[in-house]
Amino acid sequence: MNILIVGSGGREHAIAWRCAQEGHKVYCTPGNPGIAQVAECIPLDEQTPELFLQVANLINAELTIVGPEAPLVAGIVDHFQAHGRRVFGPTAKAAQLEGSKAFSKEFMARHGIPTARFQTFDSLDEAVTALARFDYPVVLKADGLAAGKGVVIAKSKAEATQALEDLFSGALVGAAGSRVLIEDFWRGEEVSFIAICDHDTALPLPPTQDHKNIFDNDQGPNTGGMGAYCDDRILTAEQKAHILENIILKTLRGMASEGAPFRGFLYAGLMMTADGAKVLEYNVRLGDPETQALLYRIEGGFVQTILAATEGRLPSAKLQLSEGATACVVMAAHGYPAKVRTGDKIEGIEKAKGATVFQAGTRMDNGALVTSGGRVLGVTASGRDLKTSLNHAYAALENISFDGMQFRRDIGQKGLKRYTV
């Protein structure tokens, strides 16, 4: 069938690759040079629901899969549905779960979904005064969409005050920081739990773990994600069942009760604490770079499962998963996650054997592939176990180079510890 992927990053490259692997004709808008190797890319000067629909009509898309959060929050699903086009993702009302951190936290409080104590502020002075009610470290979050960079973990009052000033002034994440949440900090291990959802049913995907900080050992500022791995050992069967029932399905029931039934990918960013799983945040789409590792484990049934979700047949759907584990190591540009330098020539992708290189921040310049964004490439590999998949990814990565490249050398280290017990 004709499938349209909306987006231009590594997540969208992985989605397009998976759909092509399953034998479909794939289009992507606006796409990137890597996506162009597995799909026909259709550039857009502006990215609005109306223009995305025009593209879908042009290619007679039988299914549209929306990659990033911004079009979902802007109402692309509502617009497609109003014009009779099949699309997978939540409506704008349901997408508030990610579009507004304040909405999502208040939603969790209303429905008894475990999350951290929080307060929401619209002014810098009120937020600074409220710091006295929290212990350190403390979590500061921009309310709006911030491309994964709207969270600051401050270790002192001075650091928290500076971060609040940067958020409210717009210096950190622009208008997304005009409203700020202050939350308690929880200790534990983070897990990404993603499910394919259709109103009151959910099919959970294998658990993944993202690596947010720019430097090894979880040091430095938060990024959109410097790597991820997918391994069933991340959670026990009991933990998976508990999360599915008490977080994912409870969320779906809550959204339906508030007149915003949820269909799409529901991502619960969790902290596994001594008291069990707690929700750090929701995303209303596949994570990035978790998608690269996740879709690399899927051997079949991805498109058919999404179709089943759009037709009320999700309980009958089945995904074919490979054994073992998968890993994705992100190669980022000079300056990321702050001011990013672009235009650096990328070399060696064709030599990266034993892995698939998903492109994110890339463009063509006079016949050469160059950097065009913060996260540039996601080198993704599989193996019989996590150690093998990581070895394959890092071995392939050694063949790739561009000036100023950054990558973490400790992706998956927490996961490797699970193999010793």
pLDDT in tens, the chain (421 residues): 999 999 999 999 999 999 999 999 999 999 999 999 999 999 998 999 999 999 999 999 999 999 999 999 999 999 999 999 999 999 999 999 999 999 999 999 999 999 999 999 999 999 999 999 999 999 999 988 877 678 889 999 999 999 999 899 988 888 878 899 999 999 999 999 999 999 999 999 999 999 999 999 999 988 999 999 999 999 999 999 999 999 999 999 999 999 999 999 999 999 999 989 999 999 999 999 999 999 999 999 999 999 999 999 999 999 999 999 999 999 999 999 999 999 999 999 999 999 999 999 999 999 999 999 999 999 999 999 999 999 999 999 999 999 999 999 999 999 999 997 5
| Cα–Cα distance measured from residue 87 to residue 89, given in angstroms and rounded to the nearest whole number | 6
- Measured CA to CA in angstroms, residue 346 lies from 46, 122, 311, 397, 404 at distances of 27, 43, 43, 12, 11
* Closest listed residue to residue 288, CA positions, set 240, 200, 359: 359
Report the pLDDT value the prediction gives residue 359, as an integer from 0 to 100: 98
Other beta carbons less than 10 A from residue 64's beta carbon: 25
Report the CATH architecture of 117-184: 2-Layer Sandwich (3.30)
Q: Counting beta carbons within 10 angstroms of the beta carbon of residue 179, is it exposed (0 to 12), middle (13 to 18) or buried (19 or more)?
A: buried
Other beta carbons less than 10 A from residue 19's beta carbon: 26
| Cα–Cα distance measured from residue 311 to residue 35, given in angstroms and rounded to the nearest whole number | 28
* Helices and strands: H and E segment counts in the chain: 14, 24
| Cα–Cα distance measured from residue 31 to residue 27, given in angstroms and rounded to the nearest whole number | 9
413: left (phi over 0), alpha (psi -120 to 50) or beta: alpha
CATH superfamily to which 189-321 belongs: ATP-grasp fold, B domain (3.30.470.20)
Report the pLDDT value the prediction gives residue 421, as an integer from 0 to 100: 56
Fold of 325-420: Glycinamide Ribonucleotide Synthetase; Chain A, domain 4 (3.90.600)
The H or E element spanning position 181 is strand 180-184
Report the pLDDT value the prediction gives residue 419, as an integer from 0 to 100: 92
Report the pLDDT value the prediction gives residue 144, as an integer from 0 to 100: 85
Domain 2-89: assigned CATH number: 3.40.50.20
Report the pLDDT value the prediction gives residue 324, as an integer from 0 to 100: 95
| Cα–Cα distance measured from residue 230 to residue 218, given in angstroms and rounded to the nearest whole number | 18
Domain boundaries, the chain: 2-89, 117-184, 189-321, 325-420
